[in-house]
Each structure stands twice: as structure tokens, then as C-alpha cells.
Structure 1
Amino acid sequence: MHNFLAVDAGGTSTRAVLVSPSGTCLGYGESGAGNPVSRGFRGAADAVLRASRKALGGSARPVHSATVAMAGASLAQPPGLLLEHLREFNPAQGITIESDLLAVFYSGSYHDAGHALIAGTGAVAARVEGGRLAAVADGAGWLLGDSGSGFWLGREAVRAVAAALDGRGPGTALTEGVLAQLGLQADPAVGASGRTGTLQQLINAVYGFMPVQLSRFAPRVFDVPADPVARDIMDRAAAALAGTLLAVGGGGPGGPLVFGGSVLTKGAPVAAAVVEEVSLRRPGARPVPVLVHDGVAGAAVLALKRHGIAVDAIVFGRIASSLAALRD
């Protein structure tokens, strides 16, 4: 029997699954971050290899093919190091690099047309037609975009705390959570810089991070949903994400809508607000999104579809149930 290796190489972790032609997941493995944009191709290739070995039970037994879903930047320049690593599994039909956006979409649907909105560390929306990406909005990174993402939320949280500490903005319950996460103690004394000790410590600590690492403060926004400042941040994030989705024609007819990424799957207020915002901007639309936590099931769907194997409701359900059993 020909089995397929499918990998979802994400920014936080990498997940691999060995799947049969009938959609039964036979092995599963995880490793660290596998996004070549943030880890570099060597780090990403190593993560993919470790997860794949675990999915195959530690052996290098041959597979029919390997499908790896990665950040879009990888598609324009196939990572040779990754291909070299995966050749140890001797894939008879080669190695295919797919978009991580498609993997997330297919984790929520087996149909070949629809829309996906993903808000994790970054934020991006896609329209899928004929099993391919027809349009993409945002996903431009922290400097040019990623509006409403985990990075964006975290940046707005620390900005709000800084503004509260120097009087530019209202007091906020975010202050306690952010300071605690940084291990900082309140120090109201004004130093030589003219700033309070608390604010100076905050500035020093935050500028010690890489910009994208500000995403670690996003959960603090969800911790205090009744706080007016946190609520405003969530509302603005939802408005930005709705705009991104609408830019690719999402929210109306045209197939299923899939939401992915922790901002949407764990931040229920934001997901609900995105739906509400889309409904307001597109009269008559009331999207009902499917929430998915990662793209590994979709990577398995892609592995089968790209080799001419039909994936219907039964096969899709088998992938989901057998994968869930392996993860338990």
C-alpha cells in the first residue's frame, strides 16, 4: 500500500502525519517551529525532518510522496535543504511544497473553493478556487501589514500600557498583566530621564524583543475583556481582519469559510466580532466559519488530492477522526 507523508510546518510548531490512500492517519509527530521565514531554511528543514521521523515511527521507511505545507515565501524558492532532508524517506513520487494557507483551508473543508482567514502571529486571508490560491490579502509581515494579528494585538497592548503610564492614554487593566509578564515591579519614582521607573523599565524590556515577539502579549488583551482599552483593541483587530477577509471576497456565498490561528480560535470575542463586522459591511451576509487549530489535516487532504485521490465527506471525516485518535 502506498502511504503519504504530509507536513504542516508552522511558525510555532511543525506537525507531520502518515496517511493512507483511504484517509486513515497511521502515524503522527511534532517538533519545533518550521516556518522558513522566521527560522531560516536550515531550522525549518530540521523541524520538518524531526516531525516526519516521529510520524513514521522513527524509521526511514519509504513513502509514496511527501507534501509539506509552508509559508508562502517558500513557494517562490523551493528550499533545497528541505528536499535533501526528506529524500531519506525515498518518496517515489517526489516532494511537493504547498501553501500553509491551503493547508489551513483544507483542515476545515474538503471542498475546492471557499475562503480562509488566519490570524496567529501574522494575519492573512485567502480565496481558494479549484484547489488553488486565487487571491491573498495581507500576510505582509509586521512592518507592512499583519493587521489584527497576534503581533498587532501584542503591540497595541504594550503601547496602551506605555500611554497609560505617561498620561497619554487612559488607565487600563492591561498594565498589571503586561508588567507581571515582564517580571517588572511598579516604580512611580521619576528618574533622570523624566520618566517613572515603571515606564523606563517597560521601554527597556520591550525594546529587548524582536518586533514579532510582541505577539506574546496578545493573550493579555483576552485576559481582561471588560477593560475598555482591551475591548477597543479587540474591536479594532476585528475590523482590520474583516477588511482583510472582504478584500478577497470572503463573507458571502462561494464555499465554506475557515478561520485559523490562535487570535480567532482562542480569542472568541475577536472571531465573533469579525463575523459581525463582515455582516455590517456586506448586507445580507452572515458567515458561519469553521474553526481549525492547525493545518496538518489539510496537509493530508492536499497529499491525497494532489495524487488524484478523491476526498469526500467520508474520507475527510476519516482523516479528522484518525488524526484526533493519534493526538490523544
Structure 2
Amino acid sequence: MITALLAIDVGGSNSRATLVDLAGNCLGKGRSRGGNPGSNPPDLAAAAIISAAEAAVSDAGVDLSIAVALLAMAGPRVNAMQPQIEAAFRALGLSGPLVFSGDLNALLPSVAAATDGYCVVCGTGAGAVRIRNGEVDGVTDAAGWLLGDLGSGYWLGHHAAIAVTAALEGRGPRTALTEAVLDALSIPTTSTAVVDGRPMPLRLLIDAIYAMRPIELAKFAPLVIANGQDAVAAELLAQSERYLLADFQQVFAADIAGPVVLGGGIIEHLTGLPSAISEVMRAAGHVPDIRLSGDGSVGAAVLALRHQGVTVDEAMLATITASVKARVAKSSPSD
């Protein structure tokens, strides 16, 4: 029987489970939909996490003794989920503890063996963390769509919908986002009918938005990016950059020189953010070391190894990264 560690990178859009041995070799991979309990009902979030773990064990195809299961999870802690997850993991071979960690903690070890640094993320959610001695030492935002996540994909999508509503009512500027959002919702823009005192497209927009789960507004974020030359969209992206820069400034400590890891599907489109962060670093006398995040499941695997007392240096990080990449390629040869 092989001793393995189970690491799961749990986000709002997908959950990715990785099984590694104590040398960092990937034994199995599994994937399911989002398991963030802030974006999904707890029972569905737990089911997604369990499904990803089951897929990883199936992919491994050997008898395993799982020494630890570590969840690098976005969103709030929901204690009601833990018994369901733990029971399922015990059935899969978990003999050790179930450990929870923030998903932002996995960003730094996804690309660096350093145990001090920063992570700035802008995906469905947004925020910044300071890592000291391998542990989260400070957090700004990353509080979820209801309490923050300012500048995030959710925030961009939400404010795109607000801007379109204002434009259709005539109390806000015209914007290319109007046609983009209405088209995404299959709402015709040519109707001149009036319903309850509102233009038909606006009435249909309101109905469509309130039929969605709030977090689903994040699907409009790519429309903001695609229409970045539009004045309204450009200002939303600029405000997102300002929020993320402010998050970084709040967690920045002069005695930690980096690296700064940028993660999330939105952040690469905030093109002014790296230079703005670099200026903060230079002003403190540091040479900026800014990197795009790697595979979050690699970072989660590193956290699981460290939990077991394994020192992960640059060589082992390279082994983990290459092994996970090879396993993904083997499991999905058509990708």
C-alpha cells in the first residue's frame, strides 16, 4: 500500500484534487466543479470536493493510505461541511487529519519555494495576503462577494450589470457593455415595448439578473475585459487595479522583499498592476520580484507536504510541478 497525501485546490469555479507521495510525485488527479461554500450551497460544495477526491483516487488506481487531506479553500469556513467531507475521505483511505487552509496560501508555493512573500489574487474573488514563515501573516479583503472582493471578477460583472441598467434608464452613460450583456442573456435590444414603465430590454434584464445566483454575475467580467476600450468598461478595470493595489499596500511589510505572486483569471488583464506594485517595492528599497501564479493544485500539494514535515526546496517544487503536469497530460491527452 502506498502512502499518499491528498491536496485539493478548492475555488469558486472548480475543485482540483491531487495525490502525491512524500517525494512529490503525482499519483492521481481529479477535478470537479466549484466547492467554495461562499459561492455554492454547503451540500453542493461538499459534494464537489468529494467528487474531485474520488476522481483522484480512481485515477491513481492503486491502494492508498492517505496520511493527510489538505483543502486549500476559497470562501468562508463552513463547519457543517466537515463531517460529510471527512467521512467520505475516510472511506477513500484517509488515516490522518483533515486540514483546512486558505486558497491564497497556495499561490506562493505554486511558483516559489520561498516561505516569505505576497499573493495578490483577482479571479472570481479578490484580495491580498502576506506570507511569513509559510503561514498567512496578514490578509486584506478576500472576504467574499457579500462583504468585499472589491475589483474581482464578481465585482466587475456586478458593476457591468449596474452600468447597463443605468444606461438603459438614461441615468448613466451609454456603453458598449449594454449590447454585450444583453446579448449574453439572449435579450433582444430592438424592442420598443414598454412594460411596467420600463423598456422591455431593461425589464428582461432585471428579471434575468435576479434569477441568477449573485456569484454568477462574474460571468460578465470577460465582457468588461473584451470591451476595454469602452469608457465605462475601462474605468471599471482601472478601479479594479486601484483596489488590488490598495490591498497589496495594506499587507506590504518592509522586511519582506517578496516574491509577489499574482493569481486569478482576471489579474493578467489588469496590465498596470505589476508596475504599480513594483513602485511600492522599489520605494521600500527592494528589487521587485513579481511572478504569475502557477497551478494552484501544485501549491496545495506543497502545503500538504510541508504539513507532513517535508522541506520543499526549488528542486522538489520542480519535481511536483513537472509530475502534476505530466499526470494531467496523461489523464487528458486531447487537451
- Global fold match (TM > 0.5): yes
1:151 pairs with one of 147, 154, 166: 154
Equivalence for 1:19: 20
Which aligned pairs between 1:1-328 and structure 2 lie closer than 5 A? 2-57=3-58, 61-71=64-74, 73-74=76-77, 79-187=82-190, 189=192, 191=194, 193-249=196-252, 253-264=256-267, 268-270=268-270, 272-279=271-278, 284=283, 287-292=288-293, 294-328=295-329
Identity %: 36
Give the gaps of 5 or more residues in structure 2. 330-335
> Quick one: structure 1 residues 79 and 311, their matched pair in 2 at CA, closer, same or farther if it must change by over 3 Å?
same
RMSD: 2.4
Code of the residue aligned with 1:217 in structure 2: it is: F
Shift of 1:128: 0.8
> Quick one: structure 1 residues 78 and 143, their matched pair in 2 at CA, closer, same or farther if it must change by over 3 Å?
closer
Per the alignment, in what secondary structure is the counterpart of residue 130 of structure 2?
strand
Deviates more, 1:228-237 or 1:44-53: 44-53
1:114 and 1:128 in contact (8 A); partners too: yes
Per the alignment, in what secondary structure is the counterpart of residue 69 of structure 1?
strand
Distance of 1:288 and 1:173 partners within structure 2: 37
Shift of 1:113: 1.0
> Quick one: structure 1 residues 195 and 280, their matched pair in 2 at CA, closer, same or farther if it must change by over 3 Å?
farther
Per the alignment, in what secondary structure is the counterpart of residue 26 of structure 1?
strand
2:29 and 2:57 in contact (8 A); partners too: yes
Distance of 2:276 and 2:258 partners within structure 1: 19
Compute the TM-score of the two structures, normalised by the length of structure 1.
0.90
> Quick one: structure 1 residues 311 and 178, their matched pair in 2 at CA, closer, same or farther if it must change by over 3 Å?
same
Shift of 1:215: 0.8
Matched pairs, number = 324
Distance of 2:296 and 2:173 partners within structure 1: 39
Distance of 1:86 and 1:50 partners within structure 2: 10
Q: Deviations over 1:73-106 (max 9, x none)?
A: 3287772221111111333332222221212232
> Quick one: structure 1 residues 280 and 129, their matched pair in 2 at CA, closer, same or farther if it must change by over 3 Å?
closer
1:245 and 1:251 in contact (8 A); partners too: no
Distance of 1:229 and 1:253 partners within structure 2: 37
Per the alignment, in what secondary structure is the counterpart of residue 6 of structure 1?
strand
Give the gaps of 5 or more residues in structure 1. none
Q: Which runs of 4+ in 1 moved over 4 A?
A: 75-78, 250-253, 279-283, 285-288
2:108 and 2:261 in contact (8 A); partners too: yes
Code of the residue aligned with 1:241 in structure 2: it is: L
Compute the TM-score of the two structures, normalised by the length of structure 2.
0.88
